[in-house]
Structure 1
Amino acid sequence: MADYINTMIKPMLEGAQITILLFLIAILASIPLGFLLTLAAKSRIKPISWLAQTYIYLMRGTPLLLQLLFICFGLPLLPIIGDYLVLDRFVAACLGFILNYAAYFAEIFRGGLLAIDKGQYEASQVLGLNKWQTMTRIILPQMFRIALPAVSNESVTLVKDTALLYAVAVPELLHFAQTAVNRDFTIVPFFIAGIIYLIITLLLTILFKWLEKRFKFE
């Protein structure tokens, strides 16, 4: 059994690298995009606010799997422009995750802004701070501190959602586990994949707990 596990570990760790790479790309791109969507949704320019809110509603209201399938297989079928929208599967998957999770982070940041007492704005005016100073020095630090636990939870969900890459034929961790199960007629690869996912989410949880303490959330 030990020899069998050793033969499986290498390809599954290679799949885990794809999982981690997708996570890093998605999280680093979707968080700032989500914040921009929050600002756009709160814009006083109605068309911009409406477009941002509609985008958030559509991305949160439809399954991530459907969005991935549309980007990977639907876009190339569009008339006239479809030939120019054929993307590498991994690139298409990254795009789908970024666009989807940006909408969720936008709602998290919106909740963080709503949680800030209006007295903070009034106090900033009393101190003579302009709108930019108020936002960057007073509001945003508090917003991120409030939103951090929710961002942590959403990040853990993102790690688990990377298993959806299997549906668009990107060889990630679950792909190698399923291949081993079909080949060897044993469920051991699923247990190994589960352990790897647990290790990744544990490390991520520890990181965010450290960040919460670092920013003195409690």
Structure 2
Amino acid sequence: MDLATMTGMLVQGFGTTLALFALTLVGSIPLGVPIALARMSRFRPLALLARAFISVLRGTPLMLQMFAIYFAPFYVFGIELTPASKWQACVVAFIVNYAAYFAEIYRSGIQSVPRGQYEAAEVLGYSSSQTFFRIVLPQVVKKVLPSMGNEIITLVKDTSLAFSIGVAEMFSTAKALVASQVSMAPFAIAAVLYWVFNFIVELALGAVEKKLDYYHD
């Protein structure tokens, strides 16, 4: 098999990688907000539940979570697994796992906003929701962006874990090609694709961070 054919197969697998990456971000970034707010809630049972959720999701391997979500419908509820079940389990596992990480990042960002900001908003007559979305949130976004960027870049590489439950993303394609062609070239091409995409993500995050420079500490 020539290099062009191998590259084409890897690019096709990279499409699955990108789909998993995009769906994880779309699901986990907003999901992390209510989890973070629950974690900081004064209603202790809710705060403890959110804390337990974050602890379990961050304290157990993502691969194990994928297997649990994939097999639970069959072993717990007797629901037959379908070919689509692997992809669905993979997406759900990635979303809830990264939501737990993002929730802790959000929490640290929210708690870093000085109390005086809330008091000033109250004096100006802002409601709690107005204070959060107009005053607190823009500052939090700027504060947490570097940490978010690290997690997003890690996510690009973590998508390779999807092969463990049979989702044919780029890494699993590269492994199959290495075995069939007895060549390290597929791994090298995959590494370049991962790096190029991560570099693009870094540039995008840098551009967003630059736009937020008008929020000074």
Q: Above 0.5 in TM-score?
A: yes
Report the counterpart of residue 169 of structure 1 in structure 2.
166
* 1:204 match: 201
State the alpha-carbon separation in 2 of the partners of residues 191 and 82 from structure 1.
42
| Letter matched to residue 9 of structure 1 | T
Aligned to 1:83: 79
Q: Distance in 2 between matches of 1:162 and 1:67?
A: 14
Aligned residue for 2:67? Answer: 69
Aligned length: 214
Equivalent residue for 1:50?
48
- Equivalence map 1:5-16=2 (5 Å): 5-16=3-14
Q: Which amino acid aligns with 1:206?
A: L
* TM-score, with length taken from structure 1: 0.93
Where structure 2 has 5 or more consecutive residues not aligned to the other structure, the ranges are none
Superposed structure 1 runs of 4+ greater than 4 Å apart:
84-87
Which residues of 2 match residues 126-137 of structure 1 at below 5 A? 126-137=123-134
1:117 aligns to 2:127 (yes or no): no
Shift of 1:88: 1.6
The aligned residue for residue 210 of structure 2 is: 213
Q: Displacement of 1:76 after TM fit?
A: 1.7
Alpha-carbon shift at residue 22 of structure 1 (Å): 0.3
Structure 2: how far apart are the matches of 1:99 and 1:132?
Answer: 25
Deviations 1:149-204 (A, max 9, x none): 11111000001000001111110001111011000111111000000000111111
Deviation readout 1:3-36 (Å, 9 max, x if unpaired)? 7210101111110000000000000110100111
Q: Does 1:97 align with 2:97?
A: no
Question: Does the C-alpha gap of structure 1 residues 53 and 85 become closer, same or farther in structure 2, counting only changes over 3 Å?
Answer: farther
Aligned Cα RMSD in Å? 1.6
Which of 18, 29, 33 is matched with 2:16 structurally? 18
The separation in 2 between residues aligned to 1:145 and 1:136, in whole angstroms, is 13
2:2 aligned counterpart, secondary structure? helix
Equivalent-residue separation in structure 2 for 1:85 and 1:210 (angstroms): 43
> Secondary structure of 1:171's match?
coil
> Per the alignment, do residues 210 and 175 of structure 1 end up closer, same or farther by CA in structure 2, a change over 3 Å counting?
same
* Secondary structure of the corresponding residue to residue 134 of structure 1: helix
Q: Percent identity?
A: 38
User: Quick one: structure 1 residues 132 and 85, their matched pair in 2 at CA, closer, same or farther if it must change by over 3 Å?
Assistant: farther
**Residue identity matched to 1:119:** G
Q: Which amino acid aligns with 1:20?
A: L
Question: Gaps (5+ residues) in structure 1?
Answer: none
Match of 1:184 in 2: 181
Alignment partner of 2:142 out of 145, 157, 166: 145
